[in-house]
Every structure is written in C-alpha cells, then in structure tokens.
Amino acid sequence: MKLTILGTGYVGLVSGVSFAELGNDVVCVDKDEEKIKQLKKGISPIYEEGLEPLLEKNIHNGKIHFTTNLAEPVAASDIIMIAVGTPQADDGSADLSFVRTVAGELGEVLPSDKRTVVVNKSTVPIGSAEEVESMIREKNATADVAVCSVPEFLREGSAVKDTFHPDRIVIGTNVSWARERLVQLHAPLADANDIITTSSRSAEMIKYASNAFLATKISFVNEIANICEAYEANIDEVAQGVGADRRISPHFLNAGLGYGGSCFPKDVQALIALARDKNYEANLLNSTVAINATQRLKPVEILQQQFPRGLRDMKVAVLGLAFKPGTDDMRYAPSIDIIHELVKAGADVHAHDPIVLDDAAPLLPRAVSLHDNVGQAITGVDAMVLVTEWDVYKQYSIAEFSSAMTGKIVIDGRNALDAKTFKEHGFDYYGIGRR
Ligand SMILES: NC(=O)c1ccc[n+]([C@@H]2O[C@H](COP(=O)([O-])OP(=O)(O)OC[C@H]3O[C@@H](n4cnc5c(N)ncnc54)[C@H](O)[C@@H]3O)[C@@H](O)[C@H]2O)c1
Ligand SMILES: O=c1ccn([C@@H]2O[C@H](COP(=O)(O)OP(=O)(O)O[C@H]3O[C@H](CO)[C@@H](O)[C@H](O)[C@H]3O)[C@@H](O)[C@H]2O)c(=O)[nH]1
C-alpha cells in the first residue's frame, strides 16, 4: 500500500520505517527541514536501538522517502497517518494545534476521486477523529475520506521491537471499507486475535486508559515501597509476591523515582482534563500525579535528612539523565527536577549519561558539570544518586565506586544496584522501599 506519515518523531519515524520494511511504499513528511535533510541521508534524529539499520536499508531499497511537502504523497496515498506531537497545554489538556494544522492542510490537498483513510496515530482526546474529519470536510466537502483512530503503544527504547511484536493493535472506526484496509495493513504485525476493532472514540479512550493504568500502577507500587520503608519490609520481595498473582502481573511493578517521559505525564493530565470538562473529578488519577511528583524528589529528601545542616558545597554525582534507559529523550525526566533542587540547595552536582549530554544541557542549571565518563562524574563525590538504570552503572564495579568516591552515600533511585554488595563495602545504601 502507499502510505504518507505526517511527523517524524518517535511514532512517525518508527511506524514509517516498519511499514516500509513490510513492503509498503512510505513517504514521511515533516515541517522540520533539518530533520528531513538528515533523514534523507539515513541519519535518525532519535537514539533508538535497531532503527538506523532499517532506515538505511529501506532508503536504499526505495521503500521510504522523506519530504517537507505533503501535497504530492497525500494525493497518491491509500492511507495517511497523523503522527505529530500532542503536548500538554497549560491547563493540562492535550494541545491539538499540530493535529489541527495538518487536518487543515489535508483538507486542501486530499483528492475527491479516490478513497483515502486518514489515521490518528497521535494520542488525542476522545472525539478527535470526528473533529479531524469535519475539519477536512470544511475545506473539501467532496473528499472521500474516513478518519480513524489507530493509537500507538510503542515504548521508547524498544520501539522497533514493540512495533513488530505488539500485544495488540486497536483499529477504531465504524466505516467498514476503512477498517478492512487498516486490518489488511496491520495483518503482518499481529495474529487476527490481537487486532481489536472498536469505534474511533473507544480507540482514543483505550490509549488514554492504558497509559493512565500503567502510570497508576507505578504510583501504586511506589506508595507501597514508601510504606515498606516505614515498616522495614522489602519492596523487591513484596512486588515479587504481589506480581505472581496473574491478575496483577509482575510488569510495571518496579518501584523507583516514578514515571517520566513524553507520554505518561501528559496523557494522565489530559485524561484528568477530559474528565473535568464533563464535570468529573478523576481523584484516582489526581493521586497518581501527586505521588509521582513527590517520588522523583526522594533522593533530595534522603540527602537532606542525612545532612540536616544543608547540602551547600556537597559534591553529588547524578548518574543518568534520560527519562529511561535506551533513549535520549529528556522529556519530563526526573533528573531535571533532582538536579535543579540539588543546585538550589547549594550542592556541587556532577552528572553523567551515556547517550544524552549536549541536548540535556539547556534543561539543566548552568552550575551542573556534565561528564561523558562515569569515573570522572563520581570522583571525589560525597554522595552518588542513580537516576536512570543504564547498564553501564549496573556493570560498574564496587571497587571502582569505592576508590573514586570520597563519601559513602549511595542513593539507588531505580533499585538497580546490588544493595548487599554496597553495604558490605561500607556504603550507606538507600534504595526505594528496600533499605
Ligand atoms: N514518543 C512515544 O513513545 C509515543 C508512543 C505512543 C504514542 N505517542 C504519541 O504520538 C504522537 C507523536 O509523538 P512523538 O513523540 O513521535 O512526537 P515528537 O514531538 O517527537 O515529533 C512530532 C513531529 O511532528 C512534526 N510536525 C509538527 N507539525 C507538523 C506538520 N504540520 N507537518 C509535518 N510534521 C509536523 C514535528 O516537527 C516533529 O518532528 C503524540 O501524540 C504522542 O503522545 C508517542
Ligand atoms: O515498573 C516501572 C515501569 C516504568 N517506570 C517508569 O515509567 C516511565 C515510562 O516507561 P515506559 O512505559 O517503559 O516508557 P514510554 O516510552 O514512556 O512508554 C509508555 O508511553 C508510550 C507513549 O504513550 C506508550 O506507547 C507505551 O505503551 C507506554 O509504556 C519511565 O520513566 C520508567 O522509568 C517505572 O518507574 N516503573
């Protein structure tokens, strides 16, 4: 099939490359000229395992092209996917300005003599497929188009794998010819049983409800971890015992510094705002957000308890800046808040990340020293805070930590280090719910 994908962020690019790999003819459109220039050369603007080889291969095969102009590919496409950003607006709701812009542009260029499916892959409020369709029809009353919702569930850091091995694919539309076309496109990616067909509104809600549930599961386990600390129970053992119940599952039960990233924070807020628009106060989700906001600052709280006279001139290493391992995404990363608070308290902060350094700098206080070498970041520090559980930190030897650090405080914000080993080597080790 011929596909046009609007937006080359995580979703647009990974989808584009994956559908090209499956034999479709794909054109990816972005208004960012620099990105398109790089992509044409096979250079990915994002760090994502396995993406660049597929990108290069499909450019070489002529299955994927990049452009800043949507008119030509749109006219030739069977399916057009909207994958532009839907960031958080000031009131917490999803900002639909990018989606509305592309809807207007599509209205101007969609042909009337050809059936076209338009898909919202961006995470959008319930009712958006209908809104996009009416915006298109306002500009082109005779367009033979069906706007559907096919939400994206990939995770950063495993985006390519998630796309080729999805748990499910949700296709939301009541228009049968559009549904058939979308089922045909997605068939190579999933067993028939894993394709769920719904109305566009239900599909839009499935995306928000999934993210809200996972975010709530994380805040739940963090709350249990905090109670574990008070009673000297161990969250690793507790999560293992709780997660063994198949109704609960062991996934997303890792206590830590809470969720960050480009999706959970904004999507939970957007769902709260959608409920509020209909005079429903989503109290459970409000608590999810509140717990997450305090959880990320736990390392600062622990240091302040250990040094009641203040953190002025204390040398602290922060290991990991990206919001999770496997990505260079800094959106809503806990490291940003932690480093700002430490610098505000007067600490001398030395940070490291194996992938993201230059792009992180504008988000961090000027006073922070950024290192591209773990050894340099931890040399002479009074305390070390692990924020992102990159393998490089897990593999770093206790002997290296012991010889480089001056102080003995280790705060393992992701429960990723071996507590016993650190304690045996005289460190004051603080995990989350596992002291
Ligand atoms: N990042 C993820 O892991 C993920 C996963 C599932 C769903 N989503 C959802 O998918 C959507 C996209 O997320 P993302 O992280 O890929 O976004 P992003 O912000 O990284 O990228 C969006 C891209 O769209 C481009 N764009 C904006 N306006 C445009 C226009 N008029 N024409 C062409 N291109 C335009 C931007 O230049 C940018 O390159 C969001 O709604 C997000 O919530 C994201
Ligand atoms: O047990 C866990 C699991 C995750 N996290 C944190 O939760 C955040 C999100 O992690 P993850 O879900 O792995 O990454 P994302 O790439 O943000 O993916 C989520 O958001 C995407 C965008 O909507 C969805 O498509 C995915 O299905 C959904 O998992 C990160 O900060 C993790 O550190 C925890 O604290 N504990």
Nearest CA to ligand 2 atom 2: 252
pLDDT of the residue at 265: 98
Select 2-198's CATH number: 1.10.3720.10, 3.40.720.10, 3.40.50.720, 3.40.50.300. 3.40.50.720
Give 368's DSSP letter: P
Q: Whose CA is nearest to atom 28 of ligand 2?
A: 155
Q: Is the pTM above the cut of 0.90?
A: yes
Residues at the annotated binding site?
A: 30, 35, 86, 123, 153-156, 207, 252-256, 260, 266, 324, 331
pLDDT tens digits for range 101-136: 999 999 999 998 899 999 999 999 999 999 999 999
Mean pLDDT of the residues in the chain: 96
Task: Give residue 357's pLDDT.
Answer: 86
Closest C-alpha among 23, 99, 101 to residue 62? 23
**Could you give the C-alpha distances from 205 to 120, 182, 183, 284, 434, in angstroms and in order?**
13, 19, 20, 17, 36
* CA-254 nearest atom, ligand 2: 1
Taking CA atoms, 49 is separated from 24, 164, 202, 404, in Å, by: 22, 13, 32, 31
Q: Which two tokens stand for residue 377?
A: 């970041």
pLDDT value of residue 191: 85
With 90 as the cut, is the pLDDT of residue 189 above it? yes
CATH class of 296-430: alpha beta
pLDDT at 320: 98
What does R_g of the chain's alpha carbons equal in angstroms?
24
The finding on whether 106 has its CB within 6 A of some atom of ligand 1 is no
Residue 217 has pLDDT above 80, yes or no: yes
Do 296-430 and 2-198 have the same topology in CATH?
A: yes
- Residue 189 DSSP symbol: G
Task: Report the pLDDT value the prediction gives residue 193, as an integer from 0 to 100.
Answer: 81
Q: For 195-222, what is the mean pLDDT?
A: 98
Look at residue 177 in the predicted model and tell me its pLDDT: 98
Q: How confident is the model at residue 227 (pLDDT cuts 50, 70, 90)?
A: very high
The class that CATH gives domain 208-294 is mainly alpha
Domain locations in the chain as residue ranges: 2-198, 208-294, 296-430
At residue 435, does pLDDT exceed 90?
Answer: no
Q: Which two tokens stand for residue 44?
A: 């990915």
In this prediction, residue 313 has a pLDDT band, given cuts at 50, 70 and 90, of confident
Asked if residues 284 and 271 have their Cβ atoms less than 8 Å apart, the reply is no
Under 8 Å between Cβ of 387 and 368: no
34 vs 37, 38, 67, CA distance in Å? 5, 6, 11
The set of catalytic residues is 263
pLDDT for 360 beyond 80? yes
6 CB near ligand 1 (under 6 Å): yes
